[in-house]
């Protein structure tokens, strides 16, 4: 164990929220509050913006019972941001301001919870503090429903979104097939560059009823092949359920959702609405059948009522281990997950990765887990995702509705 | 008790599915299978269409354990239809065919599960059988997420949809407020003529965080007043969450969703997409803020994973009581719910109503439960809906995903 470092800690949440990012917050805050080396625990309002604006909530003032409710409270309770910091070599204004705040509150620990961009922010802050001679241990806590963080088997937030998507697709599949008249239903699922979430809809197909066709951004989309597939499927039983990743694109890289009108592969009829509605509309015009477009929208990333207990536990542990590791001398690292199947069943191991190895890379769905014709997932993907969605949390409720954390959010002076 | 009537029973599901219509199916099927007076239990494929087409599934052939899973299986497991029968006075072809089928299988009991139109169908069949001299007891089992059936305090299916809507609105509200940049989010909720479902989003506002503004079809919508309200709300905290019923309409009766482009109250910019997306787009153009439109779509009516146990119990009981009453001599009635608060807490009592008193009427949200300015719900509505959403079911699962009923669906010969 390295030299003891005594001082305050700041924790911040960044990027798009998830169903379990607050479970990581609780892991960090609880562990930090219990650590004898950490004198005070601050939560940054809206991530790094809160540090820059000197808007820090004093976590020591919160009721421990309310903090515990963070385990089941969706979204980013402290507020989030999408704030891209300049390279300190180009412009170090923000970094100097952060140093000023760190000195003002004697901050010796900084924990940042987010995805690719946030790990980049973490990394830059870590390097700047080292250069400035202000001893501060910086740790990244992973988070993203997109599951595209490099160096970790999976990311907290992904599994709960995957479980919600699979469950919703099972329900929609039941509902969409209820009449004996034909129907094509298109479900749009988040994921701009990686198709992990859309792929998870295959769980519904494997374990009940789900999409007949699934399209990911890992392969090139071809509108004519798509219509041929839909037609083929429709002729089989007059019911087609399709799941598409929002990021599907043509071979030239153009997103299907942004493609302009064209005779062969664009949208001739739609001017507004998401990808699902536009694809459904195009099917109606080309094949002439009844259609419905459904966008899972924000629901898929904030559905804490349908979270995976495995995901909640791992999200909490990621936060906890970040704090414990920092107190033990680590810095400039992100907590990463490793899948250990040596016992015959899934065990999650926690590792530390250098931040620069993680920042700004994107992990995609392995192409060999996708069916050769690009319309669905192979068993390998199911084997990957199934252990992650296990376990139903006991949701704290009042009047049979979820009871979320009510934090006081007392500002530091 | 009237004269014993021995013979077969047919059960059918009609109209839009719900999260608990299969719980009513189980109530009917289980009770009928156990009744000594009912010799055989048939399930009609796709409601009355299955009767007309002689497509009847033999429920006696099903595994009782699979049948029990109907309690938690969403949508209409036997298939549904939207089939409007002619008045028998105008055209009795269908009725003669039904009589033929009833005679073929010695059907003496007919149970039909649906909303307004289905009770009308039930009523017509009941009258035709009486006129034809074929003794057959006909009972309606209520169902509709829209909650607009006349003569009953509420309808099976409504409460589970209401609970899903409230929970989803709480989650969306958390998610939509996560950044410190402004945002207006519009959520579109089912309900063409009655606003019970959109009104239920107020549960989120009362018990956590939910919509700031709620609009129902029970009042006239005014686009200028709407923008003024949104503007006013936006100026308060730069975050506005709006819930709209799909059936909101102008004073002249035109649905807002169908209004054509006009300078003052139409959609100048949108050509496709649901009401939420179009309203959001219009707000973006008029007020110039970031917007998001969310349509709860099919999810709200098939989310059995988030059902109300009270709803499941009452749906089952409605089916059970329909069978018991018919065996005891009742006919031409619908099972209706009465709210009994005499003990100080909610108790559901089951009554029988003449079908002709129910058919084709629509029950709307009482205007005195809506705030004077038409932008939200009063305590009276909350008091009405809260007891109905109580209780979380134990969802049967496999691999942490819902396990639905797998019926054999053996066709009668």
Question: In this complex, is the C-beta atom of A163 within 8 Å of any C-beta atom belonging to chain B?
Answer: yes
Residues in chain B: 413
Question: In this complex, is the C-beta atom of A379 within 8 Å of any C-beta atom belonging to chain B?
Answer: no
| Share of residues in chain A with pLDDT > 90 (%) | 88
| Share of residues in chain A with pLDDT > 70 (%) | 96
Active site residues of A: 146
Q: Give the residue from B278, B229, B284 showing the smallest Cα distance to B257.
A: B278
Interface of A with B in 266-325 (CB under 8 A): 269-274, 277-278, 281, 292, 294-295, 297-299, 301-306, 308
Question: In this complex, is the C-beta atom of B408 within 8 Å of any C-beta atom belonging to chain A?
Answer: no
A7-144+304-360+391-402 and A158-302 agree in CATH topology: yes
Question: In this complex, is the C-beta atom of B163 within 8 Å of any C-beta atom belonging to chain A?
Answer: yes
Contact check, Cβ <8 Å, A402/B170: yes
Contact check, Cβ <8 Å, A302/B172: yes
Q: Work out the pLDDT band at A273, boundaries 50, 70, 90.
A: low
Question: Would you say B40 and B9 are in contact if contact means Cβ atoms under 8 Å apart?
Answer: yes
Question: In this complex, is the C-beta atom of B401 within 8 Å of any C-beta atom belonging to chain A?
Answer: yes
Find the closest chain A residue to B383 by CA distance.
Answer: A399
Find the closest chain A residue to B78 by CA distance.
Answer: A178
The architecture in CATH of the region A158-302 reads 3-Layer(aba) Sandwich (3.40)
Nearest-Cα distance to chain A for B187, in Å, is 11
Over the stretch A113-150, which tens digit does the pLDDT of each residue have? 998 889 999 999 999 999 999 999 999 999 999 999 98
Contact check, Cβ <8 Å, A174/B73: yes
Question: Would you say B259 and B242 are in contact if contact means Cβ atoms under 8 Å apart?
Answer: no
Question: In this complex, is the C-beta atom of B179 within 8 Å of any C-beta atom belonging to chain A?
Answer: yes
Check whether B387 has a pLDDT greater than 50. yes
**A206-209: long-range contacts (C-beta < 8 A, 24 or more apart)?**
A206/A382, A207/A166, A207/A170, A207/B398, A207/B399, A207/B401, A208/A170, A208/A173, A208/B401, A208/B402, A208/B403, A208/B404, A209/A170, A209/A173, A209/A174, A209/A177, A209/B404
Interface of B with A in 94-113 (CB under 8 A): none
Q: Which residues of A touch B409 (CB under 8 A)?
A: none
**Residue B345 CB burial class (10 angstroms; 0-12, 13-18, ≥19):** exposed
A145-163: average pLDDT: 96
The CATH number corresponding to B7-157+304-361+390-402 among 3.20.20.140, 3.75.10.10, 3.40.50.450, 3.40.50.970 equals 3.40.50.450
Q: Work out the pLDDT band at A104, boundaries 50, 70, 90.
A: very high
Question: In this complex, is the C-beta atom of A73 within 8 Å of any C-beta atom belonging to chain B?
Answer: yes
Q: Work out the pLDDT band at B154, boundaries 50, 70, 90.
A: very high
Check whether A210 has a pLDDT greater than 70. yes
Question: Would you say A215 and A375 are in contact if contact means Cβ atoms under 8 Å apart?
Answer: yes
Domain B159-302 classification at class level: alpha beta
Mutate to test the interface with B, among A399, A405, A409 (most CBs of B within 10 A): A399
Catalytic residue among B92, B94, B146, B212: B146
Check whether A3 has a pLDDT greater than 90. no
Here the tokens at position A180 are 């004996």
Q: Domain extents for chain A?
A: 7-144+304-360+391-402, 158-302
Contact check, Cβ <8 Å, A75/B400: no
Check whether B78 has a pLDDT greater than 80. yes
B337-360: average pLDDT: 93
Q: Give the residue from A352, A318, A359 showing the smallest Cα distance to A159.
A: A318
Question: Would you say B107 and B9 are in contact if contact means Cβ atoms under 8 Å apart?
Answer: yes
Model ipTM? 0.95
Check whether B267 has a pLDDT greater than 60. no
Q: Which residues of B touch A304 (CB under 8 A)?
A: 171
Check whether A97 has a pLDDT greater than 90. yes
Fold of A7-144+304-360+391-402: Rossmann fold (3.40.50)
Question: Global pTM?
Answer: 0.96
CB proximity list for B24: less than 8 A, separation 6 or greater: B113, B141, B143, B156, B315, B316, B318, B319
Q: Work out the pLDDT band at A261, boundaries 50, 70, 90.
A: very low
* C-alpha span between A122 and A355 (Å, rounded): 7
């Amino acid at each position: 164990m390295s030299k003891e470092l005594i001082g305050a800690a700041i924790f911040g949440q960044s990027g798009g929220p998830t169903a379990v990012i607050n479970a990581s917050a609780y892991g960090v805050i609880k562990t930090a509050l219990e650590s004898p080396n950490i004198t005070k625990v601050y939560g940054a309002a809206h991530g790094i913006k809160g540090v820059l604006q000197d808007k820090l909530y004093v976590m020591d003032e919160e009721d421990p019972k309310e903090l515990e409710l963070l385990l089941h409270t969706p979204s980013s309770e402290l507020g989030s941001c999408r704030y891209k910091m300049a390279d300190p070599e180009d412009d170090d204004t923000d970094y100097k301001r952060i140093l000023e705040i760190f000195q003002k509150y004697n901050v010796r620990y900084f924990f940042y919870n987010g995805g690719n961009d946030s790990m980049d922010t973490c990394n830059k802050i870590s390097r700047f503090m080292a250069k400035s001679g202000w001893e501060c241990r910086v740790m990244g806590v992973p988070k993203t429903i997109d599951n595209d963080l490099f160096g970790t088997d999976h990311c907290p937030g992904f599994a709960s979104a995957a479980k919600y998507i699979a469950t919703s697709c099972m329900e929609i599949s039941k509902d969409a097939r209820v009449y004996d008249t034909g129907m094509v239903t298109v479900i749009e699922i988040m994921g701009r560059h990686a198709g992990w979430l859309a792929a998870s809809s295959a769980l519904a197909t494997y374990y009940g009823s789900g999409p007949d066709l699934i399209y990911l951004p890992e392969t090139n989309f071809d509108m004519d092949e798509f219509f041929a597939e839909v037609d083929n499927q429709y002729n089989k039983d007059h019911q087609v359920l399709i799941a598409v990743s929002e990021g599907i694109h043509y071979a030239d890289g153009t997103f299907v959702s942004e493609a302009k009108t064209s005779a062969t592969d664009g949208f001739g009829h739609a001017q507004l609405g998401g990808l699902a509605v536009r694809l459904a509309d195009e099917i109606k015009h080309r094949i002439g059948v009844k259609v419905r477009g459904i966008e899972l929208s924000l629901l898929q990333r904030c559905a804490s009522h349908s979270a995976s207990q495995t995901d909640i536990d791992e999200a909490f542990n990621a936060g906890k281990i970040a704090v414990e590791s920092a107190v033990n001398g680590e810095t400039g690292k992100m907590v990463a997950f490793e899948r250990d199947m040596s016992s015959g069943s899934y065990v999650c191991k926690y590792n530390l990765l250098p931040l620069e190895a993680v920042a700004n890379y994107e992990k995609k769905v392995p192409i060999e887990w996708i069916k050769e014709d690009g319309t669905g997932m192979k068993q390998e993907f199911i084997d990957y995702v199934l252990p992650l969605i296990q376990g139903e949390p006991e949701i704290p409720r009042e009047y049979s509705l979820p009871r979320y954390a009510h934090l006081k959010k007392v500002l530091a002076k």
